Structure 1
Amino acid sequence: MPNIHLTTFIAAPIERVFDLSRNLTIYKVLMQGRKEKFSSGAASNLMNHGETITFHAKHFGKTRLVTTRVTDLKKPLSFVQEQVKGDLLHFKHEHHFKAVENGTILIDMIDFEGPRDVIGKVMGRLYLKHYLEKYLSKRNILIQQYAETEKWRAVLS
């Protein structure tokens, strides 16, 4: 099963980084100009335990839907999103946060498995892993840009 591990330092307090990581406005900004969108079952602009988010992305001529649910949340230390519906056999994204003297270390761990067929397994290992790594890296840079400047006030107030 492919997995991804990304560690990012952000010069901001843990609570701010935690809330920006589950902030739906960040997702909207990240998806601007892409052939992707999402719909949310969240009651507020912050994803909470039990809430869902559905990602819509067009890959290989087909619209793919993946719905994840926040299955665990320990504020401000971690939260977990797991696929409850979608094309993948398995998808689990763990978000961990560690306060350090001058900021926060954000640790993302993703385990996933592509569709059952041979093409799905190959695509999962080659395409999907690269796609998720790139997406995650862009997401963390965006969180960093908001957290380390005054931009965070516009989305967390």
Structure 2
Amino acid sequence: MQELYFTQKLPISLDEAWDFFSNPANLKEITPAHMGFVVLSKHQGNTMYAGQIIRYIVKPVFGIPLKWCTEITHVVDKQYFVDEQRFGPYAFWHHQHRFTAVEDGVLMEDILHYKVPFGFLGDWVSALFVENEVNKIFEYRKKILTERFPG
């Protein structure tokens, strides 16, 4: 299993950060365009909640569309939420989104645990390709968020 950790400080309030990141409609904005990310679910409200199911189509490799279904399993208002894959390309996916008010802004932390399927072959593919692609997605996210919330 892979464990990745990303952090970013944004010059916005905790309320503003929570409002943006807990709204599923904003996922597309912070996902690279080449991934062909499309949210299929119809959401109830503009804020994530425990038990919410979000379905997507994503094209992470060679433009091949994959269906992905995540569940928001935990939500503590203005502190964190967790999304877990229920169906999709990973054997395991657990993503914590944490938010902490700090001087002059908010500290965002992403703690990601994932496992690629297919045993040792999947581990090899993960080491050669998947981990790099996941890192690129978070680098893109950091760039977009820096542009969207300039300090």
TM > 0.5 between the two? yes
| Band of TM-score, shorter chain | 0.7 to 0.9
Q: CA deviation at 1:86?
A: 1.4
Structure 2 residue aligned with 1:83: 85
| Matches of 2:117 and 2:139, distance apart in 1 | 24
Is 1:21 aligned to 2:21, yes or no?
A: yes
Q: CA deviation at 1:94?
A: 0.3
Is 1:119 aligned to 2:121, yes or no?
A: yes
Structure 2 residue aligned with 1:153: none
* Contact 2:74–2:83 (Cα < 8 Å) also in 1: yes
Amino acid at match of 1:84: R
Identity over the aligned pairs, expressed in percent? 22
How many residue pairs get aligned? The number is 149
Unaligned runs of 5+ in 2: none
SS of structure 1 residue aligned to 2:37: strand
Q: CA deviation at 1:113?
A: 0.1
- What TM-score does the superposition give when structure 1 sets the normalisation length? 0.81
Unaligned runs of 5+ in 1: 150-157
| Matches of 1:92 and 1:37, distance apart in 2 | 19
SS of structure 2 residue aligned to 1:34: helix
* Contact 2:32–2:140 (Cα < 8 Å) also in 1: no
SS of structure 1 residue aligned to 2:121: helix
Structure 2 residue aligned with 1:51: 52
Q: How does 1:83-102 map to 2 (within 5 A)?
A: 83-102=85-104
| Matches of 2:36 and 2:121, distance apart in 1 | 22
* Runs of 4+ more than 6 Å apart: none
Q: CA deviation at 1:45?
A: 3.5
Amino acid at match of 2:36: E
Structure 2 residue aligned with 1:42: 43
- What TM-score does the superposition give when structure 2 sets the normalisation length? 0.84
SS of structure 2 residue aligned to 1:54: strand
* CA displacement 1:8-39 (0-9 Å, x = unmatched): 01011012112212333432233474242232
RMSD of aligned alpha carbons = 2.2
Q: CA deviation at 1:61?
A: 6.2
Amino acid at match of 2:67: L
* CA displacement 1:45-97 (0-9 Å, x = unmatched): 33322212233223246422221111000110100000111121100110111
Q: CA deviation at 1:117?
A: 4.2
